[in-house]
């Protein structure tokens, strides 16, 4: 388990040329144990963080051992480790002792009071184990008073030569006053512990939350829905299609007097169904991006099931970027191949659009959020060098790999293989009832897929925005598969309705029908913001809605592509069975 993580980690680190700190996690007696201060931020929004020393805390006497080497993932996540200056030695206890003092000026007082009133807490790392502690608390007896904790007590559990457990308790409350001196103290207690090193992260996981009955129940529920849906789709299609075929071949069979030989429905549009969609370049780029995201999602879920990403800060993000770059050939292969089948001519342009479409969307949102973060001096502001690294990955890894995929796709899958000829003159699309209009079909199609995932969305949102580590990737895998099946069934049925209304614009319609689940997810995220979080302020709002929009866009591309793939397969099947004169 740990090995797979280490491998991905190593690969990611070597590709992006950012070397992680070497940690063997074993200590000799009296060896230095480094306590890293990470960030401070309001408890209600885990993602809004500022550097620890932006609050008027002081550093201990101990010499700093230089800045931590950040990995790409950490830099993007706003991890800012700084040395605490607290002297901790392996298995050497330390009674309560002063480590620094600071005169609180008026400004210092103001910022600390603000932080305490907004429930700020700070994060630390000791041997990669996260610690979190409150800065202080509002004074109950005095509405304007604030209480600051000045004493930190570290209880460290060791097993052999390894650290397996850390607790911090904050004590020493003082009523904070401007222009007073504050003395910060610390205490270290070492205890032998029976926890195994491999299991030392277990106490951060929350099985009662993630493996709650509701979670199991929702998966079971969605699963039943899938069985029901698949059965339903199968029956409808089998019955209607066989009836349709029979009617279509009525020349061979004795004529049925009920229909007067008038052809109707989807067969009428056989000369148009395989007509290229509007904006073929954009369409193939989006579908290519969808294939890309599907492959990334599957590889990442598989890796996350095998490797415990949560034991290594930022490793999930670093690995995702690495896998995203590595999966770029899928984008070119499917996007470029499709563009060629739609007889597009500007394939280089398609390749560039296809490979940069998603990165540009992410970049735009991230840069907008970055402006706000810089304005607020949040540690979330992405450093310039990190941006350059990401840009370099896009230009020198993603683009060439995509090029490779495009060449392959054009040569191996570039020939159109349509079962019906395309008429020269497009057929006019007849007027139809409002509930058969594409916009309505698209809107309705998102409903069932959303129903199958919204409980999972709650768990994912909660682990992203609150202090929970998501670790039940097996659940995530099941839900993803369920979502794919539901999306496929629903889009096939809705496209069948569309074609029966003699509207042949199924390509965009099937994509949008699949992707409309993301609209509902975004609406759900608004609900979640209002009722499930206590976020406030411009920064948190922009941050939340920006990243939720990105998530929804990615989900939309994912599900839309699933919808398109399944519908395309279905359409090829049914139209290759009708015999044309
Ligand atoms: C940390 O706290 C937990 C829960 O209170 C306790 O079970 C554990 O023994 C503590 N660890 C140490 C090293 O004191």
366-382 pLDDT, tens digit per residue, is: 999 999 999 988 888 88
Domain ranges of the chain: 1-20+278-416, 31-204, 437-581
User: pLDDT-based confidence at 544, cuts 50/70/90?
Assistant: very high
User: pLDDT-based confidence at 228, cuts 50/70/90?
Assistant: confident
Please give the pLDDT value at position 1: 37
Closest atom of ligand 1 to 167 CA is 1
Instruction: Look at ligand 1, atom 14, and give the residue with the nearest C-alpha.
Output: 155
| Nearest Cα residue to 90 out of 37, 26, 46, 40 | 26
Task: Measure 207 CA to ligand 1 centroid, in angstroms.
Answer: 18
Q: pLDDT per residue over 492-543, tens digit each?
A: 999 999 998 999 999 999 999 999 999 999 999 999 999 988 888 888 899 9
Q: How far apart are the first and last CA of the chain?
A: 61
User: pLDDT-based confidence at 256, cuts 50/70/90?
Assistant: very low
Distance (Å, whole) CA 82 – CA 59: 10
Closest atom of ligand 1 to 191 CA is 13
Task: Measure 350 CA to ligand 1 centroid, in angstroms.
Answer: 57
| Nearest Cα residue to 77 out of 317, 391, 307 | 317
Task: Measure 130 CA to ligand 1 centroid, in angstroms.
Answer: 14
Closest atom of ligand 1 to 165 CA is 13
Task: Measure 191 CA to ligand 1 centroid, in angstroms.
Answer: 10
Query: What tokens were used for 519?
Result: 């609209």
Task: Measure 99 CA to ligand 1 centroid, in angstroms.
Answer: 24
Instruction: Look at ligand 1, atom 6, and give the residue with the nearest C-alpha.
Output: 167
Q: Which has more pLDDT, 449 or 248? A: 449
Please give the pLDDT value at position 476: 93
Cβ atoms of residues 176 and 142 within 8 Å: no
Please give the pLDDT value at position 264: 67
| Nearest Cα residue to 564 out of 392, 363, 357, 338 | 338
Neighbour tally for 33: CB within 10 Å: 21
This prediction's pTM: 0.88
Please give the pLDDT value at position 512: 97
Span of 254-258, 309-313, 497-501 with lowest mean pLDDT: 254-258
Please give the pLDDT value at position 22: 37
How confident is the prediction for the chain on average, in pLDDT? 87
Query: What's the mean pLDDT in 293-315?
Result: 92
Task: Measure 500 CA to ligand 1 centroid, in angstroms.
Answer: 66
| Nearest Cα residue to 362 out of 292, 461, 444, 260 | 292
**Residues whose beta carbon lies within 6 Å of some atom of ligand 1:** 155-157, 165, 167, 191, 193
User: pLDDT-based confidence at 81, cuts 50/70/90?
Assistant: confident
Q: Which has more pLDDT, 535 or 243? A: 535
| Nearest Cα residue to 112 out of 37, 174, 60 | 174
Please give the pLDDT value at position 76: 86
Instruction: Look at ligand 1, atom 13, and give the residue with the nearest C-alpha.
Output: 157
19 pLDDT above the threshold of 50? no
CA separation, residue 380 to residues 65, 70, 530 (Å): 24, 14, 23
Please give the pLDDT value at position 10: 46
Closest atom of ligand 1 to 166 CA is 13
Q: Which helix (H) or strand (E) holds 97?
A: strand 94-104
């Amino acid at each position: 388990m740990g090995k797979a993580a280490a491998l991905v980690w190593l690969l990611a680190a070597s590709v992006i040329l950012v070397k992680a700190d070497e940690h063997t996690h074993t200590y000799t007696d009296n060896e230095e144990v480094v306590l890293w201060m990470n960030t401070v931020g309001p408890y209600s929004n885990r993602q809004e963080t500022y550097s620890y020393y932006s609050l008027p805390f002081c550093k201990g006497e101990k010499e700093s051992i230089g800045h931590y080497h950040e990995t790409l993932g950490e830099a993007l996540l706003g991890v800012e480790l700084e040395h605490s200056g607290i002297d901790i030695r392996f298995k050497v206890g330390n009674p309560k002792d002063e480590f620094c003092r600071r005169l609180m000026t008026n400004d210092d007082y103001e910022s600390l009071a603000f932080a305490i009133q907004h429930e700020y807490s700070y994060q630390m790392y000791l041997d990669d184990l996260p610690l979190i502690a409150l800065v202080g608390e509002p004074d109950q007896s005095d509405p304007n008073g604030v209480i600051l904790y000045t004493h930190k007590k570290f209880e460290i559990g060791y097993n052999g030569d390894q650290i397996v457990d850390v607790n911090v308790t904050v004590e020493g409350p003082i009523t904070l006053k401007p222009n007073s001196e504050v003395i910060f103290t610390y205490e270290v207690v070492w205890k032998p512990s029976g926890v195994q090193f491999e299991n030392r992260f277990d106490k951060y996981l929350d099985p009662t939350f993630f493996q709650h009955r509701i979670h199991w129940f929702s998966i079971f529920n969605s699963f039943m829905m899938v069985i029901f849906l698949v059965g339903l789709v199968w029956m409808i299609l089998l019955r209607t299609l066989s009836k349709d075929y029979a009617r279509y071949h009525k020349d061979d069979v004795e004529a049925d007097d009920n229909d007067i030989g008038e052809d109707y429905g989807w067969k009428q549009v056989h000369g148009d169904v395989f007509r290229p969609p509007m904006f073929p370049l954009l369409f193939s780029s989006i579908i290519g991006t969808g294939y890309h995201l599907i492959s990334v999602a599957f590889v990442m879920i598989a890796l996350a099931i095998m490797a415990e990403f949560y034991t290594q800060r930022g490793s999930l993000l670093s690995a995702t970027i690495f896998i995203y770059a590595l999966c770029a050939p899928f984008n070119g292969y499917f996007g470029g191949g499709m563009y060629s089948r739609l007889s597009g001519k500007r394939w280089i342009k398609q390749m560039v659009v296809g490979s940069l479409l998603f990165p540009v969307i992410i970049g735009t949102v991230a840069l907008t959020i970055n402006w706000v973060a810089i304005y607020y001096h949040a540690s979330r502001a992405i450093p310039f060098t990190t941006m350059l690294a990401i840009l370099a990955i896009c230009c020198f890894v993603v683009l060439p790999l995509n090029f490779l995929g495009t060449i392959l796709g054009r040569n191996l899958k570039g020939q159109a293989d349509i079962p019906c000829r395309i008429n020269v003159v497009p057929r006019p699309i007849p007027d139809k009832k409002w509930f058969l209009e594409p916009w309505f079909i698209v809107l309705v199609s998102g409903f069932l897929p959303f129903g199958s995932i919204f409980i999972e969305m709650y768990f994912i949102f909660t682990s992203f925005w609150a202090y929970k580590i998501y670790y039940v990737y097996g659940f995530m895998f099941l839900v993803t598969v369920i979502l794919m099946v539901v999306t496929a069934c629903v889009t096939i049925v809705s496209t069948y309705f569309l074609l029966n209304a003699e509207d042949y614009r199924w390509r965009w319609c099937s994509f949008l029908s699949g992707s409309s689940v993301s609209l509902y997810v975004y609406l759900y995220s608004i609900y979640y913001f209002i009722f499930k979080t206590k976020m406030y302020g411009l920064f948190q709002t922009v941050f939340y809605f920006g990243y939720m929009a990105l998530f929804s866009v990615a989900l939309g591309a994912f599900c839309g592509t699933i919808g398109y793939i399944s519908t395309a397969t279905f359409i090829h099947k049914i139209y290759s069975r009708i015999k044309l004169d």
